[in-house]
């Protein structure tokens, strides 16, 4: 009977997963090709699908089957795939059953409309257009957090962080961010004091978007992204959408100058896509793991580690440019004529405080994340009112990065996340950087000559290592446990600081020790 119960439970999860994949497809379409006039209808579609999916995931039958499976010793044997599956199913079920269906539908409906409002407000640099929607979204998310409940000794924000990074709390993240912020600020100061001026002329050549797109597609394929079950499109804010088994969709954005902005956003989303393609989803049929936790990403911090690794540790390396620069001529023509790999390496590893997070260098990127963490935490607590967001944003950017924000389009309207209702998401970007750096040191220990392989365009060994050590496990292990299993140590900021200082030393001559 236990096998029968478990099989039925997995079948119900697969149905819910299929509904979620339909919603993902609608979301991808809304951000790429959907006409603007379709927004009201799309918001109703999203609300209905969210309500139906929630109903399926929280049904009494799912609860009964889960309870029965948890009583079976054969299914709960420590270390077994079934036990890990049931652990995560229980977690998801308990969280979902705390949310009323009307709230789930309201969040889906409101965020669908808010996304459209954000896009228009950003294009017109008009925060007032987005403000009513930000107010509504924050109100709904506060209700959601209250339904989840505040952990003992914690705060409402913890309930939302837990959706993206299970077990993490605002206090723990603050304890990591505070000393890390000080060390990053020191690095930025040392770079400035070095007096070195990096020549970035090779990045300023005008290259048509179509040529950049062709180059990006070629790099994706060479790195292992399977375009037979994936695609690359254009949007306002780059993202990766896992529509379903064998359907992983990436987006990027282009501008004529600074072709590396699009290249690195493409590599970033590809890292997410490689992780999704490496999870053991199968083909979505009854025999596959699709819909089960074992076929899902463990956390957004681990997910982000994959994207940041391919974008920065691979894509910004000298070895990458030794391989990519000669090959780029086939796609970019003579646009980079006269540029050398060392020129590009230095140009894409500058440490320069700037306005836009997704275009920020590695040395300052995490400061952008910390600003958002502070702001959304204050918004949820009610310490900061949505109407006061622009002023708070601008003040923090001046304080942390020393830059003056000229307008809201390049300020508080630059990210899509809050229109999606993704509060608690931003800290995972820095957690991802920390995980990526720690994994990278272990990878280099276990794959001798990795740098030389990258210099020859040989990415298969790296991808195979990630498939074996990260991707195939799904949610079998929690993020911290996976990190310790892979690297032998708990998560630490030291590998990331070693990486950042090593790059800054090669470009600016600063001390590698801090």
- What's the rounded mean pLDDT across residues 85-110? 97
- Catalytic residue (one of 165, 269, 296, 311): 269
Report the alpha-carbon distance of residue 300 to residue 475 in Å, rounded. 12
Among the listed residues 369, 347, 344, 346, the one whose alpha carbon sits nearest the alpha carbon of residue 356: 369
CA distances from 118 to 16, 73, 110, 126, 240 (A): 29, 50, 12, 9, 19
Q: Give catalytic status of residue 15 as yes or no.
A: no
Report the alpha-carbon distance of residue 246 to residue 231 in Å, rounded. 11
Over residues 229-276, the pLDDT tens digits come to 999 999 988 999 999 999 999 999 998 888 999 999 999 999 999 999
Token pair, residue 291, equals 């819909």
Q: What percent of the chain has pLDDT over 70?
A: 100
Over residues 331-374, the pLDDT tens digits come to 999 999 999 999 999 999 999 999 999 889 999 999 999 999 99
pLDDT greater than 70 at residue 487 = yes
Query: What are the residue ranges spanned by the domains of the chain?
Result: 2-149, 171-508
pLDDT greater than 80 at residue 498 = yes
What is the layout of strands, in order, in the sheet containing 240-244? 230-234, 247-252, 240-244
Residues 364 and 401 sit within 8 Å (Cβ to Cβ): yes
Q: What is the mean pLDDT of the chain?
A: 95
Largest distance between two CA atoms of the chain: 72
Among the listed residues 197, 131, 54, 139, the one whose alpha carbon sits nearest the alpha carbon of residue 507: 197
pLDDT greater than 80 at residue 2 = no
Among the listed residues 401, 430, 425, 397, the one whose alpha carbon sits nearest the alpha carbon of residue 411: 397
Q: What percent of the chain has pLDDT over 90?
A: 94
Q: What is the pTM of this model?
A: 0.95
- HEC profile for 50-87? HHHHHHHHCCHHHHHHHHHHHCCCCCCCCCCHHHHHHH
- What's the rounded mean pLDDT across residues 453-474? 98
Please give the CATH number for the structural domain made up of 171-508: 1.10.1370.30
Over residues 379-405, the pLDDT tens digits come to 999 999 999 999 999 999 999 999 999
Over residues 31-65, the pLDDT tens digits come to 999 998 999 999 999 999 999 999 999 999 999 99
pLDDT greater than 70 at residue 1 = no
The CA angle 389-131-376, to the nearest 5 degrees, is 40
pLDDT greater than 80 at residue 304 = yes
Instruction: Name the helix (H) or strand (E) containing 243.
Output: strand 240-244
């Amino acid at each position: 009977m236990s096998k029968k119960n478990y099989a039925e439970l997995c079948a119900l999860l697969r149905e819910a997963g299929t509904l979620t994949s339909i919603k993902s497809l609608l979301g991808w379409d809304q951000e790429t090709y959907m006409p603007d006039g379709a927004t009201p209808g799309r918001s109703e579609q999203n609300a209905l699908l969210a309500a139906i999916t929630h109903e399926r995931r929280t049904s009494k039958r799912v609860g009964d089957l889960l309870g029965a499976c948890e009583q079976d010793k054969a299914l709960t044997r420590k270390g077994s795939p079934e036990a890990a599956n049931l652990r995560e199913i229980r977690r998801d079920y308990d969280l979902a059953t705390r949310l009323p269906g009307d709230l789930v539908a309201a969040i889906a409906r409101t965020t669908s409309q808010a996304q459209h409002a954000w896009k228009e407000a950003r294009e017109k640099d008009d925060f007032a257009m987005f403000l009513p929607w930000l107010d509504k979204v924050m109100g709904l998310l506060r209700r959601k957090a209250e339904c989840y409940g505040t952990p003992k000794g914690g705060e409402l924000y913890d309930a939302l962080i837990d959706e993206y990074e299970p077990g993490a709390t605002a206090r723990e993240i603050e304890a990591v961010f505070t000393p890390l912020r000080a060390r990053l600020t020191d690095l930025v100061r040392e770079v400035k004091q070095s007096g070195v001026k990096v020549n970035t002329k090779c990045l300023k050549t005008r290259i048509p978007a179509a040529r950049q797109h062709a180059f990006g597609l070629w790099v994706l394929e060479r790195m292992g992204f399977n375009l037979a079950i994936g695609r690359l499109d254009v949007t306002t804010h780059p993202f990766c959408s896992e529509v379903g088994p064998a359907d992983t969709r990436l987006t990027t954005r282009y501008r004529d100058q600074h072709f590396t902005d699009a290249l690195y956003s493409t590599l970033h989303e590809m890292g997410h896509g490689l992780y999704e393609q490496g999870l053991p989803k199968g083909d979505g049929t009854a025999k596959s793991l699709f819909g089960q936790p074992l076929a899902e990403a463990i956390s957004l911090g681990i997910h982000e580690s994959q994207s940041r690794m391919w974008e920065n540790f691979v894509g910004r390396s000298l070895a990458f440019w030794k391989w990519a620069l000669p090959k780029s001529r086939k796609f970019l023509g003579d646009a980079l004529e006269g540029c050398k790999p060392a020129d590009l390496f230095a140009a894409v590893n500058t440490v320069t405080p700037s306005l836009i997070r997704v275009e920020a260098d590695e040395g300052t990127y995490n400061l952008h994340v910390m600003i958002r963490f502070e702001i959304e935490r204050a918004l949820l607590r009610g310490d900061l009112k949505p109407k006061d967001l622009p002023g708070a944003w601008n003040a923090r950017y001046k304080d942390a990065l020393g830059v003056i924000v000229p307008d809201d389009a390049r300020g508080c309207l630059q990210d899509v996340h809050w229109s999606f209702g993704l509060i608690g998401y931003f800290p995972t970007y820095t957690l991802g950087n920390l995980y990526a750096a720690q994994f990278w040191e272990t990878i280099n220990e276990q794959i001798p000559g990795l740098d030389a392989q990258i210099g020859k365009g040989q990415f298969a060994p790296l991808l195979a290592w990630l498939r074996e050590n990260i991707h195939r496990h799904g949610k079998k292990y929690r993020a911290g446990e996976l990190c310790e299993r892979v690297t032998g140590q708990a998560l630490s900021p030291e590998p990331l600081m070693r990486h950042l200082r090593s790059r800054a030393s090669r470009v600016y001559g600063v001390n590698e020790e801090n």
